[in-house]
Chains A and B, each alone.
Chain A
Amino acid sequence: MAKYLLLKHYRGAPAGRNDVPMDRWTPQEVSDHMRYMQEFADRLVETGEFVDAQALAPEGLWVQYGGQGRPPVTDGPFAETKDLIAGWMAIDVDTPERAYALAAELSAAPGARGEPIHEWLEVRPFMSEPPTIEE
């Protein structure tokens, strides 16, 4: 088993094929999208592959050590060009192919006109622990 992070972006990913802002969908299309995401996560819990899912607020700051005895240095809000992560799902699967298949399934979530959004998701393997058996 190996863990993968499926990363969803507010900005910075290539545009999906059905890239309509969500507030331009119908309320029913928004609800259908939410249900699809929830059911996807529920299915992964059932197959024993779900690890974690979280969403991030779009706003935030850069923060840096400001030196001994000084307050943290902050910079923000983020520039419009900054790659912006919207959230993630962590999964634990047997093969990279399974991770890609699940990412594709997530990217098929319905959007405007009920058609798949074809959103680009970033798939990143976790660094794992060294194996016990060395040779």
Chain B
Amino acid sequence: MSSPVDEALLRTLTPRVLGVLVRRGAEFAAAEDAVQDALVEALRTWPTEPPRDPQAWLVTVAWRRFVDATRSEAARRRREERVKDEPAPGPVPGTDDTLQLYFRCAHPSLTPSSAVALTLRAVGGLTTRQVAAAYLVPEATMAQRISRAKRTVSAVPLDQPCDVATVLRVLYLVFNEGYSGDVDLAAEAIRLTRQLAAVVDHPEVAGLLALMLLHHARRAARTTPDGALVPLAEQDRSRWDTTAITEGVAVLQAALARDRLGEYQAQAAIAALHADAPSTAATDWVQVVEWYDELVRLTDSPVVRLNRAVAVGEADGPRAGLAALAALDPALPRHAAVAAYLHERDGDLATAARLYAEAATRAPHLAERDHLTRQAARLNTAREAR
């Protein structure tokens, strides 16, 4: 008899098992390798030999791997003492261990791509193969990226205060990657953010969780069966996931009530206004613009100003949107796409078609390029038909 491995359980247990090893005195990088070995072993053997106590099994196997790996002439004596005194699978490590693990894996000394990879493996319990497949790089490359990242953070002392914003940025990056290969990175980011929200009381953690839930809710409506993008205005809102929306709105309201606004809460508030509206026309665009004003104040990001111009176009008409756009650098990503949309709304179809075609040549993703090409094609076809 063999049964599929409960990968979700395995991923939940990963940071705890790593916490046990580190607390027993194992050095972080070696402990993390040992836990990864235990994960791979679990995926191999659990289908035919499911353990009675999965966490104890993982701790035992990981600890033995750690001890084996640290075997050397110089360490032999110390190791033998360790094996002799092998501690029992202890209590579940405290929430502090998990939190420290998040901080370490998102440490500011790491590049974003390294922090993402290390977080997914050490906190998320993904195998190197899965992380590599998700980011479309060879497994050996990903293994090196993770091992270099661990070398970088190995020396980081664990008792210094850390900024939760660095962790949130990493989780945001994971979520935005969507999904490719057999790992759903968006779902994984939600799980990791939920787990983080359980161990740290911070309105921005809740804000990011709400933002993810509210965007994830739209997933089924966001693409056609053959992968083409469906813009927000054209999405079939009956296909939005109401359970995710309800949870996202509740998490957001609780966070906003704390009166410590941050960028993720403000972004989630905009997503919540969309979630609340039966259509684009029925959306409270005036409030959306107000939230964009908050976001501009919080981030001063040109990308936010660009999105704000779209909202202004809906709230006060396309001319107002174009006026807001005029103040922005045309080199901004998606500037031409936004200009095209506003010109179309203003009735200038020739300019809109030209800008859509131009935007297509600058699109960062194939799906977006195809979408913008179709928009240009739609307007050109309509103009020729007249």
Contact = CB atoms under 8 A, between A and B. Distances in A.
Interface of A: 21-27, 29-31, 34-35, 38, 55, 57-59
B366 interface: yes
Interface in B28-42: none
Contacts of B353: 23
A25 B227 CA distance: 19
8 contacts: A23-B373, A23-B380, A27-B377, A30-B374, A31-B226, A31-B374, A34-B370, A59-B362
Nearest to B354: A23
A24 B227 contact: no
B381 A26 contact: yes
Interface in B327-386: 353, 356-357, 360-364, 366, 369-370, 373-378, 380-381
A38 B227 contact: yes
Contacts of B362: 57, 59
SS of A interface (majority): helix
Interface size class of B (residues with CB under 8 A): 20 to 34
Contacts, number: 47
A23 B357 contact: yes
B381 A58 contact: no
Point out which of B364, B370, B374 has the most chain A C-beta atoms below 10 A from its C-beta: B374
Contact of A24 (B226, B374, B380): B380
B303 interface: no
Contacts of B370: 30, 34
A22 B373 contact: yes
Given A24-B380, A27-B377, 15 more contacts: A21-B357, A22-B373, A23-B353, A23-B357, A23-B360, A23-B376, A27-B374, A27-B378, A27-B381, A29-B377, A30-B374, A31-B374, A55-B369, A57-B362, A59-B362
A26 B377 contact: yes
Contacts of B226: 31, 34-35, 38
A100 to B, nearest CB: 26
Nearest to B224: A31
